[in-house]
Structure 1
Amino acid sequence: MTSVRQLRYFVDIADCGSFTAAADNLFIAQSALSRQIKELEQHLGTPLFERTARQPRLTAAGQAFYQRARKLLADLDKAERLAQDIGRGQRGSVRLNHSSTVPLAGLLLERIGAYLRDNADVSLEIAQQSSEAQLQDIAEGNLDVGLLRLPVLRQHDEVDVHPLFDEPLYLAVAAQHPRAQAACVHLAELRDERFISIPHGQRGGLSYQSAALCMQAGFFPRAAQVVSRKTTQLQLIQAGFGVALLPESMRALAPGSVVFVPLADEGCSTTVALACGRGQGEMLQRFVAALRGSAVGCGSLDQEQPAG
């Protein structure tokens, strides 16, 4: 089989115009260079050079081989540079998924945009996925970074969960709802309301946090006739099926006919967190640092309390 070394030797001889000049350029003995070319010609079954008294000339086979050999070496150099850049975290693709209740807006979108501007050779693959599925995919190596809401009920040894920032919760109601005009509401006043988001027994996230706050106020949220844990809950609220406790960032997604009413109780907030696998490469480390706000020149919103 033709070796990369033989290809480089062959191309260098053709470029230099002589075995002597090529040997000097390659810092090897001319006899070693000649031996490698002879082995290459034997492998190919045809001479590549016409040996003359003055200088070697490419045969017809040598000329055809020369064009392909140069291209192969150029492609190999590109592949090596690409691998080195990816290894240094300068190129590649990051798989990022986010919960439906963590919209890529505001500060998150700003930091993603800033990272991409500083890393033009890195691309993002973004999709929406439940928190539990994100953690599972990260643990199995099928996902790089996840954005979700705490609490996380299922822990994975291979996954770190970093709190990013807190944001207030609001009561989201249809514009025609009796509480839509209220300056604020207490959770205890929502005892008889129908909630379109009810927690699953083995899942955390926003619905779990909302139920926990309602239980602190003395009741468990009553389920509406139609429930959803996705962004479709905004449409359900708009249609008057029920109410929900939603984070401030979802106001940007809400139609004008959905009203966000402030909650009067203390502690009505939710935490956005970042999940990632352990033992990341440099590119992922930089991306995670950018989202956590720990990159140079960024103020950090990370509470530096990794869980999981």
Structure 2
Amino acid sequence: MRQLRYFVEIVEAGSFSLAAERLFVAQSALSRQVKELEASVQVQLLTRGARRFELTPAGKTFYDGAKRLLFNLNETLVQTRHANRDEQGVIRLLHSSSVPLVNPLMQRIQTYLANNNGASLEISQMSSEHQGEDLEEGRSDIGLVRLPVHIRFPGVQVEELYTEQLMLAVPLLHPLSERTEIAVVELREELFVSLPHAERGGLSYRVADLCMRNGFFPRAARATSRKTTLLNLVEAGLGIALVPASMRAVAPAGVRFVALSGMDSLTAVALLYRRGASQLVKGFAAALLS
């Protein structure tokens, strides 16, 4: 582990001399440790010049893995120290941009934290299609995604949390902004700022599916986005979007929301967590599902 730390520090410092200063070790000792490391992995990791070095292709791969391994080790140490102090630890929570942390989610999160003083959350945003891999490899604990999820991982459990209405988001000056309700079929000629990817699920796929059920595929606007920024594109007048009602809480002031008519305009949020997760994670998942 010491050799891994030394190697990562050398790469990030950009030189042996600066890394030696940061690590408080002699430069000759640092060079020796790298040579021993290369002997252990049986590949050359660095090509050394008179004043600088370069990572070999194998070295780049090794650096990425070493960095990830050291990060996971640090996370494990933090969790261990929490446990030693009779604390429950940190839950690493992911959510996609189409699942804003507003009610009913935030209410459930607040209730859980109020009832579990030793637990804390580390919250990050990540696209739905990448959350499964992150959870299966142990880099995160809980994921919140918009269904459907096309890429399934054997080690990850998927459970539906709740459903909510889709709504039409339009700029304030759009002709449809004065409507109180609209049918999806009426959007046939409108430009959409969010389109589905062939291999991805989530909100954009659900919207495309809804449009196709009404006899058309969404027409692409000149600027599109799959992130929360799609509402900024709507505000700028570049097109429209069908979004969950909860996104009203994070929408810019220049966006108007119109209800959709019909019974088929629902979208579902799902909870992801690793099979065989800790009791801490299972308890948090149960609180969100309640």
TM-score by length of 2: 0.71
Cα contact 2:95–2:127 (8 A) shared by 1: yes
Q: Which amino acid aligns with 2:159?
A: H
Superposition pairs of residues 89-128 of structure 1, within 5 angstroms: 91-128=88-125
Partner of 2:83: 82
Q: CA deviation at 1:81?
A: 8.8
Q: CA deviation at 1:83?
A: 3.9
For residues 264 and 253 of structure 2, what CA distance do their matches in structure 1 show? 27
Q: How many residues align?
A: 211
**RMSD across aligned positions (CA):** 1.4
Q: Distance in 1 between matches of 2:81 and 2:147?
A: 42
Give the alignment partner of residue 246 of structure 1, picking from 226, 243, 246: 243
Letter in 1 for 2:112: Y
Per-residue CA shift, 1:138-164, capped at 9, x if unaligned? 111111000001000011100011000
Q: Is the 8 A contact 2:93 2:142 kept in 1?
A: yes
Larger-Rg structure: 1
Amino acid corresponding to residue 251 of structure 1 in structure 2: R
- Unmatched runs of 5 consecutive residues or more in structure 2: 1-79
Matches of 1:267 and 1:234, distance apart in 2: 23
Partner of 1:133: 130
User: What secondary structure sits across from 1:226 in the alignment?
Assistant: coil
Residues 58-91 of structure 1 show CA distances to partners (whole Å, capped at 9, x for unaligned) of: xxxxxxxxxxxxxxxxxxxxx8993484xxxx51
Secondary structure of the residue aligned to 2:178 is coil
Give 1:39-188 correspondences, 5 Å limit: 82-83=83-84, 85=86, 91-188=88-185
2:187 pairs with 190, 200, 214, which one?
A: 190
The residue type equivalent to 1:169 in the other structure is L
Distance of 2:159 and 2:214 partners within structure 1: 28
TM-score (norm 1): 0.67
Q: Distance in 1 between matches of 2:91 and 2:100?
A: 18
Cα distance in 1 for residues equivalent to 2:95 and 2:82:
32
Question: Out of 219, 223, 227, which is 2:220 matched to?
Answer: 223
Query: Closer, same or farther in 2 for the Cα pair 1:113/1:214, shift >3 Å?
Result: same
User: How far apart, CA to CA, are the structure 2 residues paired with 1:280 and 1:266?
Assistant: 37
Measure the CA separation in 2 of the matches of 1:81 and 1:228. 40
2:258 is the counterpart of 1:271? no
How many angstroms apart in 1 are the aligned matches of 2:261 and 2:113?
Answer: 39
Q: Deviations over 1:123-150 (max 9, x none)?
A: 1110100001111101111110000010
In structure 1, what residue type is equivalent to 2:190? Answer: E
Which runs of 5 or more structure 1 residues have no equivalent in the other structure? 1-78, 294-308
Q: Does 1:199 align with 2:199?
A: no
Distance in 1 of aligned mates of 2:90 and 2:250: 27
CA contact (8 A) 2:82 2:88 kept: no
Fraction of identical pairs, as percent: 49
Distance 2:138 2:233 in 1: 35
Distance 2:171 2:108 in 1: 32
Distance in 2 between residues matched to 1:258 and 1:203, nearest whole Å:
27
Q: Which amino acid aligns with 1:229?
A: R
- Paired with 2:208 and 2:96, the residues of 1 have a C-alpha distance of 18
Give the Cα–Cα distance (whole angstroms) in 1 for the partners of residues 84 and 109 of structure 2.
24
Most deviating of 165-174 and 113-122: 113-122
Distance 1:110 1:278, change over 3 A: same
DSSP 3-state at the match of 2:117: coil
Give the residue type in structure 2 aligned to 1:227.
Answer: T
